[in-house]
């Protein structure tokens, strides 16, 4: 179970990195966009710390809940990439979104209890 959680966390991390890269490529040096990029990265990093804490406390259900939330957030961003992306970035984003979709087929979202 822990191996699967770490794998899921790695996928979520990769999606976050792709989003960060795409945001950086899209917005360049614009101060407001740079600020937003750092804000999002800080939020993602805090969530990863929370996931790690849950895993270390042997609370995988809570860790998985956070990972699934991160995947959902990343999927919403990846589902409609900017037309301004270069081909290499667009390909990477499309491949990452395909991984997210496959994960969603393997592990459908559970209803909140």
The pTM of the whole model exceeds 0.75: no
Over the chain (113 residues), what is each successive 10-residue block's mean pLDDT? Answer: 67 68 61 81 91 95 92 88 88 93 87 51
Q: Are 50 and 70 in contact (CB under 8 A)?
A: no
Cα 34 to chain centroid, rounded: 18
Query: What CA–CA distance (Å, rounded) separates 79 from 98?
Result: 10
Q: What is the DSSP string of the chain?
A: -HHHHHHHHHHHHHHHHHHHHHHHHHHTT-HHHHHHHHHHHHHHHHHHHHHHHHHHTT-HHHHHHHHHHHHHHHHHHHTS--TTS-HHHHHHHHHHHHHHHHHHHHSPPPPP-
Phi-psi region of 99 (alpha: psi -120 to 50; beta: other; left: phi over 0): alpha
User: Given this model, what pLDDT does residue 34 score?
Assistant: 77
User: Given this model, what pLDDT does residue 15 score?
Assistant: 67
């Amino acid at each position: 179970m822990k191996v699967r959680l770490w794998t899921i966390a790695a996928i979520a991390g990769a999606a976050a990195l792709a989003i960060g890269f795409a945001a950086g490529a899209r917005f360049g040096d614009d101060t407001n966009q740079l600020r937003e990029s750092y804000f999002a990265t800080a939020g993602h990093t805090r969530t990863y710390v929370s996931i790690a804490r849950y895993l270390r406390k042997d609370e995988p259900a809570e860790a998985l809940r956070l990972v699934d939330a991160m995947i959902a957030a990343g999927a919403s961003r990846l589902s409609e990439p900017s037309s301004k992306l270069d081909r290499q970035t667009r390909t990477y984003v499309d491949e990452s979104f395909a991984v997210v979709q496959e994960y969603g087929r393997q592990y459908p979202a559970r209803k909140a209890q």
